[in-house]
C-alpha cells in the first residue's frame, strides 16, 4: 500500500517535469537574440529608457506581425524600450470596449479613421506629441494628416498604406490578343466588351465573400467610381453625409459599377454566373486569370501576395510576368490621377514618454524605410525610397502616393459611421448584386445612417 502511493507520487512528478520540459522546448527563447552590432546613431533622438515597456495591439497578424516586430527590433535594443505587440482579428470590435474598461494597450494600431474618431470622441486618446506632429508635417501630405485628426486635435500619424483600385490582368494575354491598357473608364468598358464578344471567357472575375464582412470588395468598386466620376469634393461630401447616400451622383457610381457586377456577360469569369460573386472568397477570386478563364480582376495592391496561395513564386507579378496591375483609369484622359486607399494609425492610450518616443519612431522615415525594406507593404511617407519596396508594383504604388499631383482619398467605408461603413453598405452591396435595384438599396443604406 505504501509502496503504491509512493509510486503514484513519483509518476505525477515525472509527468509534470516532462510537461514542463516539453513546454520549454516550444518557446524558442526569441528574446535571447543578441543586439550586438546595431548602429544606434539613428535612434539617439529618442533617448534611452531603462526597463520601459510599451504594449501594442492591432489587426496585423502572422507574417506581417513578424515583420512589424522586426521593424522595431533595433529601436528596442538602442532605446531600451521593450515593445510587446499582440495581433487579433477581433481588435476593431474590442478596442472600444477595452478602452472603456481601462484595459486598452498603450498603443493601438487602428486601421480606420472613423474608429480613431470614435475613440477620440470617447476621450480615451492621448493627442500626438510634438515630435510626431513634426514628422507628419515633414513626411506626409495634408490629406493624410487630416485622417489622423479629430475635431482639430491631431492624434496619430499614419503608418503603412495600401492603394485600392488596381485592375489585375495578364500581360501575356494582353500582348497576345493586342489589348491596350485603357486610359479612360470608357476605354475600360470597350475593352471588357471586346473580351466578352470574343466569347472565350467572361472578362471579369469578382469575389465578394469575406465571412461576416461579405460585400466589402464591392464597396471598393463603388468608392473608386464615386471618386473618378464625381471628383474628390463630391466624394468628401458623400462620406461625411453632406449629400445623402441616395444622391443621384452616388446612384450614377453604383450604376456604372453595375454595368460590370450585375451584368451576366461581364461576370463571373472562370467561376460561374452573377450570383457566384457573393459566395466566391475575395482571396481566390482573381486566380482564374492565371488559368486564362478571366481577364480582369479589381482588387487592392495587397492582392499581390495572393497570387501564390501556396507560397513560392510560381506566378510572377511584374509588367512582363504572369500578372500585373494597372490603376482603374480616370473618367477622361486629362483628369488628374486619383486613387483610393487605406492605412493604419497608431493611437496612444497612455500618456508616457516611452510611448511617445515609440510613436515618434513609427512616424519617422527611418521606420518607414525599415518596414518597406522587409517587403510586402508600402507607406505614404515621403521619406521612403521607392527602390526599397520589394516589387515593381509596390515601387510604382509608392511613387503614386508620393506624387504631389495625385489626389488621394481614404477608403470611404472606413470613414463612414460603423452602422454604414461596416454594416449596411456591405449588406447593401450583397443585396444589390443579388438583384435588388439601385434606388432601393441606396434608400436602405441612407435610412441606416445614424442620426447623431
Partner 1 sequence: MTTADLLGKILQVVMGLAVFAAIVGLLIFFIDKAPKKGRDYWQLVGFLAPALILVTVGLIYPAIRTSILAFQTSSGAWTFDNFIWAFTQPAAIRTLINTVIWVLLVPTFATAVGLAYAVFIDRSRGERFYKAVLFMPIAISFVGASVIWKFVYEYRSGDREQIGLLNAIVVAFGGEPVQWLQTDPINTILLIVVMIWVQTGFAMVVLSAAIKGIATEQLEAAQLDGTNGWQRFTNVIVPGIRGSLVVVLTTISIATLKVFDIVRTMTAGNFNTSIVANEMYTQAFRASEIGRGSALALILFVMVLPIVIYNVNVLRKQREIR
State the residues that interact with partner 1 by CB under 8 A.
23-24, 26-32, 93, 96, 118, 211-212, 214-215, 271-273, 275-276, 278-279, 417-420, 422-424, 427, 430-431, 434, 444, 447-448, 450-452
Nearest approach in angstroms of CB 212 to partner 1 is 4
Nearest approach in angstroms of CB 330 to partner 1 is 33
10 Å Cβ neighbour count for 107? 25
Among residues 309, 341, 294, 302, which one has the least CA distance to residue 325?
Answer: 302
CB 128 within 8 A of CB 156: yes
Residue among 159 and 431 whose Cβ is closer to partner 1: 431
Nearest approach in angstroms of CB 147 to partner 1 is 18
Residue among 131 and 418 whose Cβ is closer to partner 1: 418
Residue with the three cell numbers 479589381: 298
Nearest approach in angstroms of CB 387 to partner 1 is 36
Residue among 136 and 285 whose Cβ is closer to partner 1: 285
Tell me if residue 304 falls in helix, strand or coil: helix
Rounded CA-CA distance 170/163 in Å is: 19
79 Cβ neighbours under 8 A, 6+ residues apart: 43, 46, 47, 48, 49, 354, 357
Nearest approach in angstroms of CB 434 to partner 1 is 6
What is the b/e burial string over 231-250, where b = at least 16 CB atoms within 10 angstroms of the residue's CB? bbebbeebbeeebebbbebb
Residue among 219 and 230 whose Cβ is closer to partner 1: 219
Q: Largest Cα–Cα distance in the chain? A: 95
Residue among 350 and 427 whose Cβ is closer to partner 1: 427
- Counting every residue written for the chain, the total comes to 452
CB 116 within 8 A of CB 153: no
Nearest approach in angstroms of CB 289 to partner 1 is 18
Residue among 58 and 417 whose Cβ is closer to partner 1: 417
Tell me if residue 10 falls in helix, strand or coil: helix
Strands 107-110 and 345-348: antiparallel
Residue among 144 and 432 whose Cβ is closer to partner 1: 432
Residue among 272 and 376 whose Cβ is closer to partner 1: 272
Residue among 155 and 408 whose Cβ is closer to partner 1: 155
Residue among 202 and 359 whose Cβ is closer to partner 1: 202
Nearest approach in angstroms of CB 23 to partner 1 is 6
Rounded CA-CA distance 215/135 in Å is: 36
DSSP 151-204: TTEE------EEE--EEEE-HHHHHHHT----SSHHHHHHHHHHHHHH-SS-SB
Among residues 58, 282, 287, which one has the least CA distance to residue 164?
Answer: 282
Helix axes 130-139, 353-362, angle to 10 degrees: 10
Nearest approach in angstroms of CB 337 to partner 1 is 33
Nearest approach in angstroms of CB 236 to partner 1 is 22
Question: Could you give phi then psi for residue 129, rounded to 5 degrees?
Answer: -80, 170
Rounded CA-CA distance 322/118 in Å is: 43
Nearest approach in angstroms of CB 32 to partner 1 is 7
Among residues 264, 238, 269, 263, which one has the least CA distance to residue 251?
Answer: 238
Residue among 160 and 222 whose Cβ is closer to partner 1: 222
What is the b/e burial string over 145-166, where b = at least 16 CB atoms within 10 angstroms of the residue's CB? bebbbbeeebbbbbbbbbbbbb
Nearest approach in angstroms of CB 215 to partner 1 is 8
Residue with the three cell numbers 494597450: 105
DSSP class of residue 317? B
Amino acid at each position: 500500500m505504501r509502496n503504491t502511493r509512493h509510486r503514484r507520487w513519483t509518476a505525477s512528478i515525472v509527468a509534470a517535469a516532462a510537461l514542463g520540459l516539453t513546454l520549454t522546448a516550444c518557446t524558442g527563447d526569441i528574446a535571447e537574440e543578441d543586439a550586438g552590432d546595431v548602429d544606434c546613431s539613428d535612434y539617439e533622438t529618442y533617448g534611452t529608457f531603462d526597463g520601459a515597456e510599451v504594449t501594442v495591439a492591432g489587426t496585423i497578424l502572422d507574417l506581417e506581425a513578424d515583420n512589424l516586430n522586426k521593424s522595431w527590433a533595433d529601436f528596442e535594443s538602442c532605446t531600451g524600450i521593450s515593445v510587446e505587440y499582440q495581433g487579433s482579428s477581433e481588435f476593431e470590435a474590442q478596442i472600444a470596449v477595452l478602452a472603456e474598461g481601462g484595459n486598452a494597450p498603450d498603443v493601438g494600431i487602428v486601421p480606420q479613421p472613423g474608429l480613431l474618431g470614435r475613440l477620440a470622441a470617447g476621450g480615451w486618446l492621448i493627442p500626438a506629441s510634438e515630435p510626431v506632429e513634426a514628422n507628419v508635417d515633414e513626411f506626409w501630405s495634408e490629406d493624410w494628416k487630416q485622417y489622423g485628426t479629430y475635431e482639430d486635435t491631431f492624434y496619430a500619424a499614419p503608418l503603412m498604406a495600401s492603394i485600392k483600385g488596381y485592375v489585375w490582368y495578364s500581360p501575356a494575354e494582353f500582348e497576345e490578343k493586342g489589348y491596350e491598357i485603357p486610359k479612360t473608364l470608357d476605354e475600360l468598358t470597350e475593352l471588357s466588351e471586346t473580351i466578352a464578344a470574343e466569347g472565350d471567357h467572361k472578362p471579369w472575375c469578382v469575389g465578394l465573400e469575406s465571412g461576416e464582412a461579405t460585400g466589402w470588395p464591392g464597396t471598393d468598386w463603388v468608392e473608386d467610381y464615386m471618386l473618378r466620376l464625381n471628383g474628390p469634393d463630391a466624394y468628401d461630401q458623400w462620406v461625411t453625409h453632406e449629400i445623402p447616400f441616395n444622391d443621384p451622383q452616388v446612384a450614377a457610381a453604383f450604376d456604372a459599377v453595375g454595368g460590370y457586377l450585375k451584368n451576366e456577360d461581364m461576370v463571373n469569369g472562370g467561376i460561374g454566373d452573377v450570383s457566384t460573386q457573393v459566395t466566391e472568397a475575395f482571396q481566390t477570386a482573381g486566380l482564374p486569370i492565371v488559368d486564362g478563364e478571366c481577364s480582369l480582376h479589381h482588387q487592392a495592391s495587397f492582392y499581390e501576395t495572393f497570387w501564390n496561395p501556396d507560397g513560392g513564386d510560381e506566378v510572377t507579378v511584374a509588367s512582363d510576368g504572369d500578372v500585373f496591375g494597372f490603376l482603374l483609369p480616370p473618367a477622361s484622359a486629362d483628369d488628374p490621377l486619383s486613387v483610393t486607399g487605406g492605412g493604419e494609425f497608431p493611437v496612444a492610450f497612455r500618456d508616457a514618454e516611452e510611448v511617445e518616443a515609440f510613436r515618434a519612431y513609427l512616424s519617422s522615415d527611418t521606420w518607414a524605410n525599415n518596414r518597406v525594406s522587409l517587403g510586402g507593404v508600402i507607406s505614404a511617407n515621403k521619406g521612403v525610397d521607392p527602390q526599397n519596396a520589394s516589387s515593381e508594383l509596390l515601387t510604382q504604388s509608392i511613387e503614386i502616393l508620393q506624387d504631389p499631383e495625385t489626389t488621394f482619398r481614404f477608403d470611404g467605408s472606413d470613414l463612414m459611421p460603423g452602422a454604414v461603413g461596416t454594416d449596411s453598405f456591405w449588406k447593401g452591396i450583397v443585396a444589390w448584386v443579388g438583384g435588388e435595384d439601385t434606388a432601393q438599396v441606396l434608400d436602405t443604406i441612407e435610412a441606416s445612417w445614424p442620426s447623431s
